[in-house]
Amino acid sequence: MVDLVTGDPLLTALDDEQRVAAEALIGPVCVLAGAGTGKTRAITHRIAYGVASGSYDPARVMALTFTSRAAAELRTRLRGLGAGTVAARTFHAAALAQLNHFWPIVVGGPAPRVLEFKGRLLGLAAERSRVKVDTATLRDVAAEIEWRKVGLVGMDDYRVRLASRGAPGSLTAEQMLALVEAYEELKDERRAIDFEDVLLATAGMIESEPAVAMQVREAYRHFVVDEYQDVSPAQQHLLELWLGGRRDVCVVGDASQTIYSFAGASAEYLLGFERHYPDATMVRLERNYRSTPEIVDVANRLMRGRPGALRLAAAAPDGGDPAASDGSAPDGSAVDGSTPARSVPDDRSAPIADPAPTRGGRAAADGIAHGPAPEVVEYPDELAESRGVAARVRQRIDAGTPPESIAVLLRVNSQSALFEQALGDVGVSVRVRGAQRFFDRPEVREAVHAIRAAALAIADEPLFKSVSDVLRSLGWTVEPPAGPGAVRDRWESLNAIARLVDDQPAGTTFRRFADDLRTRAETHHEPAVAAVTIATLHSAKGLEWDEVHLPGLTEGMLPIAYATGFEAIDEERRLLYVGITRARRRLSLSFSRWSAGRRAEREPSRFLRELDIRTPGASRPASAAGAPARARR
């Protein structure tokens, strides 16, 4: 047992709940940490306190997370706390290091090469299996392979599931299986493994070689897993093999931020931790140090009653005990039920900041007082919405808000073009995070090239027909493809170009439209600094800004059209929750009644109806289109 020192600066830097987590150094520990509650501070101080108190040998501690960027953030913080020799890695980096070390001993020769991308080899596999497939479908095939492997689904089971799950694009089940088999054969012939194989091969080596298992378990005694709601079955299996039946593991996560269940991971490991370890130390971090009470209240309303949801309470500016956002204490209800999750892409950054400095042994939230009420703004159409948001952003910058502290968060990549253009029109620089810039996408470059080539032959026909004829030749259709994936993303990109026709002045020629496309592509440069962030909701996870705009909140966009069934809709709810909790001071949500060109009327998102935000005093947001817009009451 560790002799706890009351005045230890590593402990006095924490609030009461964070300190409980930091002092629980031995045995299983689960930290249920809501958005903005300082979970990274809690786990890094816990590790540093374990090292400083002599409970941990720093060489035998492994901190695990899901992206190289997040691992680098952990290492930086641990260095600052005097625990810089502790290993902080992604699951894949830790597994690959072990694979490279043990392969020459167990198998002989160097470990297989790891494929950076599956695309090229899948293209060769398609040729070998004589399956005709386009690039977008190949990307969906790659995602399907990843889903199968991280979910520990064997080929026999996959054959059965494929009948109900369906193959990507227009592929039949037989074609999909032939592609997968040819892909695996090519990997073996070339002595290569893919990203998912790294986890599977390392696990297999530990399971089959007692000497390897003994050395691995001797090397690391204590494990800390960040973002545990994102763990996949393959990662969980490897973690259990590393532990080897031991119990010194601390996990940290938030079930309300599980937004990748479509890729095969599960939050059951987080929500079922106490069932697996009945004597585990369970800690709930619900004191939010990021957002104003008004924003915290909106987040709580959205997630009220959802499985595993924590009840956030806005931290008081004086560091005292905060009340819950609706004036009552946190409900303290037990975590039950489960929601799925997955590994997070590498474009996610770690949280920007720890909680503020402390006073009297409790973390203080300096400057987090009441702020403006979040608002919901209705616009007549998508163009008016993009221009209205841009005008509001311009006003905030003119009032002194740094542009880098503002973000526009979107559901899908294809929404970015309108907002990039609208912000550019009012002189606001933007940076696009988490996805390629619109005009850098391969399908967009192909479309722009085809439109410019076709425009050389001047045709006396309506502009939309000229543009749509070119886009149809590239695979665009009036109706979107069913389901998510690369095929749907490609369609969204091409459809965004089709919608640009509606923005053109009357009488615009095909050649003029083609020249305008080229100018847009040439002028959309991503600045290095002082720029408003445009990001998808997925890529915004782990980040925060003073001011956040969430446009496009309509049925069919959020929740997305292909989200059917309770679990899929709940995933969309959690995605909106992630967006809301990125905001520190100001939050604006908006929707438009009509699509571009007024082709289809839309309904506001069901989530907006649930939130029932009432903005004090109706506002009329500036709209470059001059169309009426109003704050929804």
Longest dimension (CA), the chain: 86
* In a domain? residue 609: yes
Q: Are residues 22 and 44 in the same domain?
A: yes
CA distance 143 to 184: 15
* In a domain? residue 207: yes
| Sheet strands (E) in 212-271 | 222-225, 249-253
CA distance 409 to 576: 10
Q: Which amino acid is at 358?
A: T
* In a domain? residue 1: no
Q: Are residues 180 and 287 in the same domain?
A: no
N- to C-terminal Cα separation, the chain: 57
* In a domain? residue 100: no
* In a domain? residue 104: no
Nearest 5°: phi and psi at 413? -60, -35
Number of structural domains (the chain) is 4
pLDDT at 84: 87
* In a domain? residue 562: yes
Say which residue the tokens 């193959």 belong to.
Answer: 167
Given 168, 193, 218, the domain boundary residue is: 193
Q: Are residues 87 and 204 in the same domain?
A: yes
b (16+ CB within 10 A) / e for 319-349: beebebbeeeebeeeebeebbbbbbbeebbb
Q: What is the DSSP letter of 623?
A: -
Nearest 5°: phi and psi at 579? -60, -45
CA gyration radius for the chain? Answer: 26
Nearest 5°: phi and psi at 351? -55, 150
pLDDT at 605: 93
CB 424 within 8 A of CB 534: no
pLDDT at 105: 92
Given 340, 363, 386, the domain boundary residue is: 363
Annotated binding site: 33-40
Given 193, 225, 253, the domain boundary residue is: 193
Q: Are residues 340 and 326 in the same domain?
A: yes
As to burial, measured by CB atoms within 10 angstroms (0-12 exposed, 13-18 middle, 19+ buried), residue 600 is exposed
Q: Say what the alpha-carbon torsion angle 426, 430, 432, 437 is, to the nearest 10 degrees.
A: 60
Kindly state the helix (H) or strand (E) to which residue 87 belongs, with its residue range.
strand 87-90
pLDDT tens per residue, range 267-305:
889 999 999 999 999 999 999 999 999 999 999 999 988
* In a domain? residue 611: yes
Q: Which amino acid is at 136?
A: A
Comparing CA positions, the residue from 253, 232, 259 lying closest to residue 580 is 259
Q: Are residues 69 and 215 in the same domain?
A: yes
What are the tokens at 416? Answer: 């970015």
- Other beta carbons within 10 angstroms of residue 615's beta carbon come to 17
Which residue range is the domain that position 329 belongs to? 9-94+199-363
CA distance 501 to 496: 9
Say which residue the tokens 């695979």 belong to.
Answer: 475
Q: Are residues 532 and 400 in the same domain?
A: yes
Q: Are residues 288 and 145 in the same domain?
A: no
> Which residues of the chain, if any, have pLDDT below 50?
1-5, 319-367, 525-529, 616-633
Q: Are residues 455 and 398 in the same domain?
A: no
CB 575 within 8 A of CB 260: no
CB 587 within 8 A of CB 374: yes
Annotated binding site for ATP: 33-40
Q: Are residues 431 and 287 in the same domain?
A: no
Q: Are residues 457 and 432 in the same domain?
A: no
As to burial, measured by CB atoms within 10 angstroms (0-12 exposed, 13-18 middle, 19+ buried), residue 424 is middle
- Which conformational region is residue 306 in: left (phi greater than 0), alpha (psi within -120 to 50 degrees), or beta? beta
